[in-house]
């Protein structure tokens, strides 16, 4: 069925204004940054985790896989609760889980305990998927692209921060120090969000939890726009995570032979994602979501080709990473804008369906990237990412008719 807007939408919460106040938006974007960072601290640490806990290749691949699977499970089972209970209370509970999981990783004495901790951390990091719909629901349609661009910039900063911090700390203080630092930070931000987030009323009153979960299947079946956004997002984020999950292994192997801190510094190339998120948030109205995503995916595909062709050139690798981060985050913002516009009364569930596919793609991409890196080296990883990026672009172009915002949009 074609995607349509519901004529029976319940009103948005009464606190909705044209956009969140600058202070509140900064608070929420910063919280997204520090929470999302937890999902990526492991990337420069994989060589240290392998040596420190004597991990097999299988267990090493399970570290990124468990992180993303935990995050995907939370999106499916926890994110929908944002439509039926106050997000402020839900975020407080998730903060407790996040702190506990990070302590478990910091004290892990075996690979299995580490993998369990990363899975639980993925569940607790669902805080980001409560804050992003909250910011969207507090914004008017005209301001939503700008607000989501700011939130996604926070997400990009978090990913950048994670790689640089974890690589530097691990080089001088060991990999456990990274998780102790993360646990302390999660505790501070949990307290700040509990104190400063606004109270809100439920958006789907009276709906029981089983019906809430089942309703996501109904949303996916009813809205072709949701299906296209979810599937293309899964493909491009699988490519993104396959690269980043295996990059530290590539950089620390011969002939590059970088140390953990030097590998972590590649995270600075991810600053391009901040530019991409902010720019695409402003281009959504004049260009439309379809054109904005098309341009972003072309940039992503070029970036994967550069990484493949210049695999032993530090300059080439930096250029490729810049293009990949720019493309992925420039595509993410307009993709979420059109998802949130489908049914404003079901934004948490719509976001849950979309992000479930997104992070299942991330989990599979991360695990496949590490396995291909150990078996075939960097060319194996890049063959996968080029195929995934091209697949996302082809699917997006083929499904052009599903996007109601193909032409330049009028607010």
Higher pLDDT, 411 or 90: 90
Residue 148: the pLDDT is 79
pLDDT of 160 higher than 50? yes
Task: Give yes or no for a contact between 33 and 161, defined as CB atoms under 8 angstroms apart.
Answer: yes
What are the distances in angstroms from CA 291 to CA 142, 285, 329?
18, 11, 15
pTM of the complete model: 0.70
Higher pLDDT, 347 or 377: 377
User: For 76, how many CA atoms within 13 A lie in the half-sphere containing its CB?
Assistant: 13
CA neighbor of 250 nearest in space, from 110, 113, 87, 380: 380
Give the residue carrying structure tokens 């639980």.
Answer: 120
Mean pLDDT: which of 121-135, 175-189, 313-327, 341-355 is highest? 175-189
pLDDT of 191 higher than 90? yes
d(C-alpha 235, C-alpha 232), whole Å: 5
The tens digit of pLDDT for each residue in 92-140 reads: 999 999 999 999 999 999 989 999 999 999 999 999 988 988 887 777 7
- Mean pLDDT score, 197-216: 73
User: For 131, how many CA atoms within 13 A lie in the half-sphere containing its CB?
Assistant: 34
Residue 19: the pLDDT is 61
pLDDT of 406 higher than 80? no
Q: Token pair for residue 214?
A: 């089942």
Burial 339-364 (b: 16+ CB within 10 A, else e): bbbbbbbbbbbbbbbbbbbbbbbbbb
The tens digit of pLDDT for each residue in 242-267 reads: 998 899 889 988 898 888 778 777 77
Share of the chain above pLDDT 70, in %: 88
- Mean pLDDT score, 298-326: 92
Residue 122: the pLDDT is 94
Average pLDDT in the chain: 84
List the chain domain ranges. 22-402
Tell me the Cα Rg of the chain.
Answer: 20
What is the pLDDT confidence band of residue 381, given thresholds at 50, 70 and 90?
Answer: very high
pLDDT of 13 higher than 50? no
The tens digit of pLDDT for each residue in 29-44 reads: 999 999 999 998 988 8
Q: Tell me if the domain spanning 22-402 has CATH number 1.20.1250.20.
A: yes
Q: Token pair for residue 22?
A: 């600058």
């Amino acid at each position: 069925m074609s995607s349509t807007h519901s004529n029976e939408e319940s009103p948005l919460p009464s606190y909705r204004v044209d956009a969140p106040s600058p202070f509140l938006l900064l608070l929420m974007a910063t919280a997204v940054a520090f929470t999302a960072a937890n999902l990526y601290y492991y990337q420069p640490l994989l060589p240290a985790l392998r040596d420190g806990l004597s991990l097999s290749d299988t267990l090493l691949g399970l570290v990124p896989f468990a992180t993303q699977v935990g995050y995907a499970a939370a999106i499916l089972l926890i994110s929908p609760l944002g439509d039926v209970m106050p997000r402020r209370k839900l975020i407080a509970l998730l903060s407790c889980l996040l702190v506990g999981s990070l302590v478990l990783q910091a004290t892990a004495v075996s690979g299995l305990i580490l993998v369990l901790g990363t899975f639980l951390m993925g569940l607790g990091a669902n805080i980001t998927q409560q804050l992003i719909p909250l910011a969207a629901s507090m914004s008017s349609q005209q301001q939503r692209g700008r607000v989501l661009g700011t939130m996604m910039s926070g997400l990009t900063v978090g990913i950048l921060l994670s790689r640089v911090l974890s690589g530097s700390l691990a080089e001088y203080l060991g990999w456990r120090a990274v998780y102790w630092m993360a646990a302390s930070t999660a505790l501070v931000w949990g307290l700040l969000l509990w104190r400063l987030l606004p109270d809100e009323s439920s958006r789907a009153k009276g709906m029981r939890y089983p019906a809430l979960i089942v309703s996501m299947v109904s949303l996916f079946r009813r809205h072709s726009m949701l299906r296209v956004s979810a599937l293309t997002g899964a493909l491009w984020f699988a490519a993104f995570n396959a690269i980043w999950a295996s990059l530290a292994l590539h950089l620390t192997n011969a002939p590059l032979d970088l140390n953990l801190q030097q590998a972590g510094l590649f995270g600075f190339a991810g600053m391009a994602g901040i530019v991409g998120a902010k720019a695409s948030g402003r281009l959504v109205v004049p260009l439309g979501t379809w054109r904005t995503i098309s341009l972003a995916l072309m940039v992503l595909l070029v970036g994967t080709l550069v990484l493949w062709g210049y695999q032993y050139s530090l300059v080439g690798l930096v250029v490729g990473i810049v293009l990949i981060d720019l493309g992925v985050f420039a595509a993410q913002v307009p993709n979420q804008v059109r998802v949130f516009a489908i049914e404003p009364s079901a934004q948490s569930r719509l976001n849950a369906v979309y992000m479930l596919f997104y992070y299942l793609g991330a989990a599979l991409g991360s695990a496949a990237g590490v396995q291909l890196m150990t078996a075939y080296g960097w060319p194996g990883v890049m063959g996968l990412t080029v195929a995934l990026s091209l697949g996302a672009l082809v699917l997006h172009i083929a499904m052009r008719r599903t996007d109601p915002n193909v032409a330049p949009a009028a607010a």
